[in-house]
Amino acid sequence: MKDPEAPDRRFAQGNPFARAVLPDDEKATSPVMYVVFGLLSLVLAAIFVAAMVLPPLFTHTLIMRGLRTGRPGMLAAGIVMALIYFLIVFSVGKRLMSRPKPPPETPPTE
């Protein structure tokens, strides 16, 4: 824990509220942790974008190659993937865009 009388905290002299503010976590003051967390965030963002973009691309490829080469198995797999992806997007969208449920009514207290 930092010394409350450290020179970088002299601005808080006379203000008990400002002097009481300390970091929640000592590791939060480490620049290495900020870099690691930033890089991890970039990796997770790339995985999220890939999870949203790759299934439609695979679906399109399966359907088009199935049609062009006359392979009904590829076409069927592409259509099944498209239906599954559409149902997932539809159900998540419906849940997010629907009206919120009203809170349950509480019985009156006596």
User: For the whole model, what pTM was predicted?
Assistant: 0.54
The single residue listed with the structure tokens 């970088």 is: 8
User: Does 87 or 5 have the greater pLDDT score?
Assistant: 87
How many Cβ atoms are within 10 Å of 35's Cβ, its own excluded? Answer: 10
User: Does 75 or 3 have the greater pLDDT score?
Assistant: 75
pLDDT tens by residue, 28-83: 677 788 788 889 999 999 999 998 899 899 999 999 999 999 999 999 999 999 99
Which of the four pLDDT bands, split at 50, 70 and 90, describes residue 98?
confident
CA angle 51, 55, 60 (to 5 degrees): 150
pLDDT of residue 67: 94
Tell me how far apart the alpha carbons of residues 19 and 17 are, in angstroms, rounded to a whole number.
5
pLDDT of residue 47: 95
pLDDT of residue 73: 94
Tell me how far apart the alpha carbons of residues 63 and 55 are, in angstroms, rounded to a whole number.
12
Tell me how far apart the alpha carbons of residues 21 and 12 are, in angstroms, rounded to a whole number.
10
